[in-house]
Structure 1
Amino acid sequence: MAEETGASPRQARPSMTATMRSSSFLRDHQQYRPQYKPENHYGIDTVVEDLRATSISPRDITPFKGVPSPENPPTIVESGVSHGLSHPNCTPRTGAHLDKLVATLFYRSSAPRASNVIPSPQKGPSPQPSRSPSLHAAAPAVPAAESDIPPTMAPSSSLETYPLEPPAAEPEPLDHLYGSYVTPMCIAAFLHLMTAFPLPPSSTDLTSAHRCLKLDPSQEEHPVVVELTVAPAPSPDYLSLADLRKHELIYRFEREWNVDVALRADTLWRRYPRLVVFDMDSTLITQEVIDLLAATIKDPPDLAARVADITHRAMLGELEFDSAFRERVKLLTGLPATIFEELRPVLDVTNGVRPLLRALKRLGVRTAVLSGGFLPLTSWLAGELGINYAHANEVVIDETTGRLTGEVKGRIVGKERKRELLIEIAEKEGIPLEQVVAVGDGANDLLMMEAAGLGVAWNAKPRVQMEASARINGDSLLDLLHLFGFNAEEVQQLSA
């Protein structure tokens, strides 16, 4: 016991105290250290002297703020690249569903507005602005007596028939003030407008992203077609997509900024159409065939004007298309059947149609033309353009004289028949209607546009612009591809 009592106490194992530890476990316990390398500098004076000849580029480095969160999302900063990993509007969490709305803004560069399109009664229209002469030189000042909404602007060609409060006159159109293209101010105004619509109950924040799909060829830094994705979409319990498209705020925004807004739900079918159906007159071609026929008859001299008046009233929806068509054909009695061959060189194919059809063919999309005109010309044009299906009216020809009798064989290809044909072609090809696109300009196209997943009004009559799912008022039908999400480079590759 004495020996144990007198023994020296056992030494404790050496360890690092708190003041000796660093914040890195690896640095404290690593077994291998790289060989010693002498520093390039031997004091603060040499460091300062070397910095005098060194150009330092400022670089923002986002410090780490602890655990990543929606308020402090993780960010990669390396070699001049700053990339945020936050994705609240990219893809929903597992089991969740995020409704996104896609708005495609088309700047109407081919239809510039004059100042004070709707002048006040106390003051005449303001003078034509000198800004951007290349775009606005063709738009003369609008006299007060002739002031009206342009015929290709929804929803009406007359302020008296506009169902809601007409838009107030602007001292200067906003696209004149901020730029003749889809400007950042235009995008900001649209996003602010979207905050006016209630979100779904489970959502609190509105997120957005945008892509420039097409630039102005003359000023390539100016976008003229922009795609905006907004998530989540406005609550469908408050406002359906069909009603949102006709909302007065959307219409006011279009007029203020001189744009067309196409609103679509961001679904898989939006990007992958499989059947595109066209009207012919004033869509695939710039003319009305029946008016061309009437213009060839010199006796009576007012025949062309009478036929054109019936055509105009039918396209506006004031007359039933079937009866109007029979009435016009009756006026063509006695024309030789060879007139259809004579009209072939006269047909003026709409700008952008040929490259559009090449692009659709490369995408594997089937095409059809459903015309309220005449089958001989429609079938010939479909063959020339490579369209898969062609349907139109057959006129009766006297076999003895070889002239038109003024009668029509079978059912008139009017609005009901166009819808039936669209559905029949889709069923034959095994294509769901959600992947069908219908393009037209007249009231007789409305039913087929309603049956399709997307109905596009192309430089259409006012009523059609108001009822269609989307509208394009431009100078090239090739812009239709932007509604599917293709940018200008992709459009060029597809249509080359």
Structure 2
Amino acid sequence: MAEEGISPSRQGRPSMTSSMRSSSFLREHQQYRPPSKPENHYGIDTVVEDLQATSIAPPRQISPFNGIPSPENPPVIVESGVSHELSHPNCTPVPGTTSFDRLVATLFYKSTSPRVSNAIPSPIRIPSPPKRAKSPTPHTESEIPPNMSPSSSLDTFPLEPPTTEPEPLDHLYGSYISPMCITSFLHLMSTFPLPPGSTDLNSAHRCLKLDTAHGHHPLVVELTMAPAPSLDYLSLSDLRKHELIYRFEREWNVDVVLRSDTLWRRYPRLVVFDMDSTLITQEVIDLLAATINDPPDLAARVSDITHRAMLGELEFDSAFRERVKLLTGLPGSIFNELRPVLDVTNGVRPLLRALKRLGVKTAVLSGGFLPLTSWLAGELGLDYAHANEVVIDEATGRLTGEVKGRIVGKERKRELLLEIAKKEGVSLDQVVAVGDGANDLLMMEAAGLGVAWNAKPRVQMEAGARLNGDSLLDLLYLFGFGDEEIRTLTR
């Protein structure tokens, strides 16, 4: 009877079944047991299902993640080595409120023309040789730096010594566009006042060209800054000429091209070129003068007039008539003889091939001679060619020293640019003009972008952009194309 009374209580005692037994003492007594599910990377659905079964205090409804950023779901995803930041829901401006206040700065490192500081050194004292000893060669060093001494006469002696230029920092931080160079430029831009209501300058940059021969260093970098400096303080044309920009270019041995980041910046439709010293490396009128031996100084006289006209010291029209007068008596066949002599500027042929593939119209507006200009335009595939017509005597077949019709000077170049743009239905914002002389300034001013190509000092200062490289193909970087895209366009 006693055993019968004990039996029910024994049935309620906990007991270990065979399924709960283990052969490992450590496994039976360890404090942490792994979960029943394998430790794999769960998807978002699995995580949400587990959360829905979780008790949360205070209780709230948990909705599945639908991919839209919110305060509860911040717009940053970091998982499996991927970091991605999502745009906020209202990232597109309200229609009618979009404003192009971004500024694009394209930095070109002038690797082919390293600058040497012209800081005035301490005078070098060289002991004078004995009077009886005569040195076979004069000393190359002087107690006075060369840039302080008169070149030929005292009339050219400067009243004040030249200002000391900044030291070339690219020698210290890298002969390319280094991170320190970019940082210095951004610091410079932060000194200009921002538009009202703006407190910070945001920027991003990308490399357009690499120096693959020397460590893949960047040679052309495009920086986008927002917002642009306040127009109430400084217009874009004045900003390009600012002393701080010029000093930065000298310090880092770069050219800085500043443009508003508009839609038309990336899509030009008409590019107009000067010919002499732009599409070709020579001045045609100097080549013509060089063929005349009598008088012997004619070539030098013509070259001097050409140089002064390009500097803007002489009126181009009158200077051109004067030079043509000096060519009186040359045979008309001389233009055909000069064709093989013309040296096309490096990068012109692939540049024109790229522009043609992009559907861009091209033109050459030259202050030279139409027979050579038309022939070159046909060789290079340009769509338009305008230049001066000289009078050739039908009886003798020689130049009379006169010019037919209007001279293609600075005013005429501007008129021709406007005529071609109107004929092609192209907005002036999508016109680019490239030249090197003072007679190109008016057409550069009329175009949406004027580019001074290895130009004279006055043109460098007044043009909207300046390029001083060794290939005119650099023009494509101004449109935002990178090396890979340029290679595709020029194949």
Aligned position for 1:183: 178
Aligned position for 2:310: 315
**Shift in Å at residue 306 of structure 1?**
0.2
Residues 142 and 349 of structure 1, relative CA distance in 2, 3 Å threshold: farther
Task: For residue 378 of structure 1, give the secondary structure of its aligned residue in structure 2.
Answer: helix
Residues 159 and 225 of structure 1, relative CA distance in 2, 3 Å threshold: farther
The aligned length equals: 405
For residue 115 of structure 2, the aligned residue among 105, 113, 116 is 113
Query: For residues 154-233 of structure 1, what are the structure 2 equivalents within 5 Å?
Result: 168-170=164-166, 172-233=167-228
Paired residue type of 2:83 = S
Paired residue type of 1:493 = T
Aligned position for 2:146: 146
Task: For residue 145 of structure 2, give the secondary structure of its aligned residue in structure 1.
Answer: helix
Aligned position for 1:369: 364
Aligned position for 2:7: none
Counterparts of 1:230 and 1:297, CA distance in 2: 55
The answer to whether the Cα contact below 8 Å between 1:337 and 1:402 also exists between their aligned partners in 2 is: yes
Counterparts of 2:316 and 2:263, CA distance in 1: 35
**Shift in Å at residue 205 of structure 1?**
1.2
The answer as to 2:343 corresponding to 1:341 is: no
**Shift in Å at residue 77 of structure 1?**
1.0
For residue 103 of structure 1, the aligned residue among 82, 100, 105 is 105
Aligned position for 1:358: 353
The answer to whether the Cα contact below 8 Å between 2:100 and 2:261 also exists between their aligned partners in 1 is: no
TM-score by length of 1: 0.77
Residues 486 and 256 of structure 1, relative CA distance in 2, 3 Å threshold: same
Query: For residues 19-418 of structure 1, what are the structure 2 equivalents within 5 Å?
Result: 74-85=75-86, 92=93, 95-114=97-116, 116-120=117-121, 122=122, 145-147=145-147, 168-170=164-166, 172-418=167-413
**Shift in Å at residue 44 of structure 1?**
7.7
Residues 249 and 287 of structure 1, relative CA distance in 2, 3 Å threshold: same
Aligned position for 1:481: 476
The answer to whether the Cα contact below 8 Å between 1:73 and 1:86 also exists between their aligned partners in 2 is: no
My pick for the range that moved more, 198-207 or 92-101, is 92-101
Residues 356 and 455 of structure 1, relative CA distance in 2, 3 Å threshold: same
The answer to whether the Cα contact below 8 Å between 1:375 and 1:393 also exists between their aligned partners in 2 is: yes
Residues 44 and 224 of structure 1, relative CA distance in 2, 3 Å threshold: farther
Residues 384 and 286 of structure 1, relative CA distance in 2, 3 Å threshold: same
Aligned position for 1:63: none
Aligned position for 2:135: none
Task: For residue 77 of structure 1, give the secondary structure of its aligned residue in structure 2.
Answer: strand
**Shift in Å at residue 295 of structure 1?**
0.5
The answer to whether the Cα contact below 8 Å between 1:117 and 1:142 also exists between their aligned partners in 2 is: no
Structure 2 unaligned regions, length at least 5:
1-25, 35-68, 125-139, 149-155
The answer to whether the Cα contact below 8 Å between 2:118 and 2:164 also exists between their aligned partners in 1 is: no
Residues 160 and 183 of structure 1, relative CA distance in 2, 3 Å threshold: farther
Task: For residue 368 of structure 1, give the secondary structure of its aligned residue in structure 2.
Answer: strand
Residues 160 and 98 of structure 1, relative CA distance in 2, 3 Å threshold: farther
Task: For residue 276 of structure 2, give the secondary structure of its aligned residue in structure 1.
Answer: coil
Listed one character per residue, the Cα deviations across residues 176-222 of structure 1 (whole Å, up to 9, x for unaligned) are 00000000000000000011110000211110000100011312520
Aligned position for 1:427: 422
Residues 450 and 87 of structure 1, relative CA distance in 2, 3 Å threshold: farther
**Shift in Å at residue 82 of structure 1?**
1.3
Listed one character per residue, the Cα deviations across residues 315-340 of structure 1 (whole Å, up to 9, x for unaligned) are 00000000000000000000000000
Counterparts of 1:44 and 1:324, CA distance in 2: 100
**Shift in Å at residue 363 of structure 1?**
0.2
TM-score by length of 2: 0.78
Aligned position for 1:133: none
Counterparts of 2:448 and 2:157, CA distance in 1: 31
Counterparts of 1:159 and 1:97, CA distance in 2: 52
The answer to whether the Cα contact below 8 Å between 1:167 and 1:252 also exists between their aligned partners in 2 is: no
Counterparts of 1:277 and 1:309, CA distance in 2: 27
Residue identity (%) = 77
Listed one character per residue, the Cα deviations across residues 39-59 of structure 1 (whole Å, up to 9, x for unaligned) are xx9558999xxxxxxxxxxxx
Residues 177 and 486 of structure 1, relative CA distance in 2, 3 Å threshold: same
Residues 365 and 144 of structure 1, relative CA distance in 2, 3 Å threshold: farther
Residues 233 and 166 of structure 1, relative CA distance in 2, 3 Å threshold: farther
Task: For residue 171 of structure 2, give the secondary structure of its aligned residue in structure 1.
Answer: helix
Residues 346 and 333 of structure 1, relative CA distance in 2, 3 Å threshold: same
Residues 401 and 147 of structure 1, relative CA distance in 2, 3 Å threshold: same
The answer to whether the Cα contact below 8 Å between 1:291 and 1:307 also exists between their aligned partners in 2 is: yes
**Shift in Å at residue 118 of structure 1?**
3.1
Counterparts of 1:87 and 1:179, CA distance in 2: 39
Listed one character per residue, the Cα deviations across residues 330-356 of structure 1 (whole Å, up to 9, x for unaligned) are 000000000000000000000000000
Counterparts of 1:430 and 1:161, CA distance in 2: 53
Aligned position for 1:460: 455
The answer to whether the Cα contact below 8 Å between 1:91 and 1:98 also exists between their aligned partners in 2 is: no
For residue 449 of structure 1, the aligned residue among 432, 435, 444 is 444
Listed one character per residue, the Cα deviations across residues 194-251 of structure 1 (whole Å, up to 9, x for unaligned) are 1111000021111000010001131252000000000000000110000000001100
Listed one character per residue, the Cα deviations across residues 80-105 of structure 1 (whole Å, up to 9, x for unaligned) are 111233689x8656534350000000
Residues 44 and 266 of structure 1, relative CA distance in 2, 3 Å threshold: farther
